[in-house]
Structure 1
């Protein structure tokens, strides 16, 4: 069943992260990549 529904699950995850995750990941990604922010983050 996992192989049969793998494509559907992947599409659902893409929609989920596309609508809810990318803004969050982009926000923290920029903070972590910024050396000064990374020091504050750690």
Structure 2
């Protein structure tokens, strides 16, 4: 017996929420250094 469509959709939604939260945290980390790299014309 396979996973129901509702359960699968819920799992995908949960995973998307995790990825959005991860991306938000990474964006916060990168934003702190971005201006410095822009001024120095460097790539981390």
User: Which one has a bigger Cα radius of gyration?
Assistant: 2
TM normalised by structure 1 equals: 0.40
Q: Which has the higher contact order (CA 8 A, sep 6+)?
A: 1
The alignment's TM-score, normalised by the length of structure 2, stands at 0.40
Q: Counting helix residues as a fraction of each chain, which structure ranks higher?
A: 1
